[in-house]
Structure 1
Amino acid sequence: MRTHVDEIDWARFIERLLYLFPPVIGVGIVGVLQDAEPGVPGLQFALFLVSAFGYTFLTLGLLVAIFFDARRIRRLPQASGNWHPNPWLNAAFALVSAPLAGVVYLARRHRRFGTRSGWSGWWLVVAVSLATTLFGIVAATIAIILTIPGLLAAAIALAGTIAFGAFPIAIHQDAAYVCTDGDSWRPNPGFYLGVAFLSLFVPPLQPLVAGYYLTRRRREMELS
């Protein structure tokens, strides 16, 4: 028997919650940096508090969303094919590592149900994030050579803001569009979202992933 809970688009809800993890993690990183140098008293504690509360809230929300989505899929054996996600195991995984559990779940879900696509211009945001990162690298290099602390901080802040706020969303959304409306290339949006998350902790990975993605996209279909 279907209930109003089963009518909710839990997959979309999972996506939106995952989009919020990078900014929340970014706030925590800023707190660490503030702790390493003198600044406004109590600022680092406030940032840590906001980050911890936000991460906990998102984890619980993701846990609930994955549980109900997996439960609904298990109740539709013909629609889900050979994939029968265990709601309790997936929820437990989310409790241990919410971002990882979320991207793995979306990647596996995409293989069976696909991902709803939207705007066709998300590649522009991916391109802007790549250009911003490259500019940040050049500016940071110049700042280090010429010993300009202000320029170094500005370059890191600009590149970090784009990377944490826009890049994961843009590449996930565009991969969904390409997979749905493209010809031969079928990028998995969940996989690219996971790689984008990884690039937040391995910064050199971001321009490599963005560059590869845009090159492959251009080769497979027009940038439109």
Structure 2
Amino acid sequence: MGASRLEDVDWGRVIERLCYLFPPVVGVGLVGAVQEADPGVPGLRWGLVLFGTFGYTLLTLGLTTTLFLDTRRVQVVGGWQPRPWLNALFALVLAPVAGVVYLYRRHRRFGTPADRSEWWVVIAISLGTTVAGLVAAAIAYVLAMPELVVTAIGLAGTVAFGAFPIAIHRDAAYVCTRRTRWTPNPGSYLGFAFLSLFVPPLQPLLAAYYLFRRRRATGTP
């Protein structure tokens, strides 16, 4: 019965969900690593670092396992012959990149199940929050208000780390199923969203570009 249950699991969707968890886990670890101010909570800094490290390790092991299981199933289906052990090793070394690359390649063969059409709203909110945060941070810097700078950047960073990668991946999964000339690969946009977490100026540019292409292709928003 246990083997039968494993066969019923959609490992491709599990891989997606594990990838979604990497940005917030990494973000928590980074907050702990760079935190200099004393929040008045003993051990908070090291607690955040340990949470990020432990969480990243668990997600890496989870993605290594699910990539192995999904590649074995895909080989049985046919049409694509990814190597289970090679993909698992890649995930063990650099899990987020391995997950994104696999989802990109998997989509080209089998597609990605469509999601709700409203994810573009979250992308727009992420874009608005990032722009507002940058403007607020610039004003606070000019007015010599460091607390406001930290708050503005923290708010924008929270939205970008937590919501933006999920939203752009899920919305691309919806758009690519529409009968339009533009068929975005959800895996590639998830990869760019991950990259934007470490190159902050890329996030608003990516969000604006995506929304522009989406509007031209679908007429909404």
Q: TM-score, normalised by structure 1?
A: 0.94
Residue 181 of structure 1, CA deviation: 1.9
Question: For 2:45 and 2:150, how far apart are their aligned partners in 1?
Answer: 17
The list of structure 1 runs, each at least 4 consecutive aligned residues, that deviate by more than 4 angstroms after superposition, is none
The residue aligned with 1:54 is 55
Letter of the 1:157 partner, please give it: G
Does residue 123 (structure 1) correspond to residue 120 (structure 2)? The answer is yes
Q: CA deviation at 1:186?
A: 0.6
- Distance in 2, matches of 1:67 and 1:126, equals 32
Between the aligned partners of 1:32 and 1:143, the Cα distance in structure 2 is: 24
Shift of 1:6: 2.2
Cα shift readout 1:122-153 (whole Å, capped 9, x = no counterpart): 00100000000000010000010001112111
Q: AA paired with 2:177?
A: T
Aligned to 1:208: 205
Matches for 1:28-177 after TM superposition, within 5 Å: 28-34=29-35, 36-39=36-39, 40-77=41-78, 81=79, 83-177=80-174
With normalisation by structure 2, the TM-score equals: 0.96
Give distance in 1, aligned partners of 2:206 and 2:179: 19
Q: Give the AA of the match of 1:111.
A: R
What is the CA distance between 1:43 and its match in structure 2? Answer: 1.1
Counterpart contact for 1:59–1:95, Cα < 8 Å: yes
Shift of 1:76: 1.8
Superposition RMSD in Å: 1.2
2:201 equivalent to 1:222: no
Instruction: Report if the CA contact (8 A) 1:27-1:48 is conserved.
Output: yes
Q: Secondary structure at the match of 1:75?
A: helix
* Separation of aligned partners in 2, 1:57 and 1:120: 32
Partner Cα distance (1:156, 1:32) in 2: 16
Query: Within 1, Cα distance between the matches of 2:125 and 2:77?
Result: 41
Q: How far apart are residue 75 of structure 1 and its match?
A: 1.2
Distance, in Å, in 1 between the alignment partners of 2:75 and 2:7 is: 12
Shift, 1:182, TM fit: 4.0
Query: 5+ residue gaps in structure 1?
Result: none
Kept in 2, the 8 Å contact 1:123–1:223? The answer is no
Identity %: 62
TM-superposed deviation, 1:62: 0.7
- Answer yes or no: is 1:14 the counterpart of 2:10: no
2:93 and 2:34 map into 1 onto residues whose CA distance is 26
The aligned length equals 218
Residue 49 of structure 1 deviates from its aligned partner by 0.7
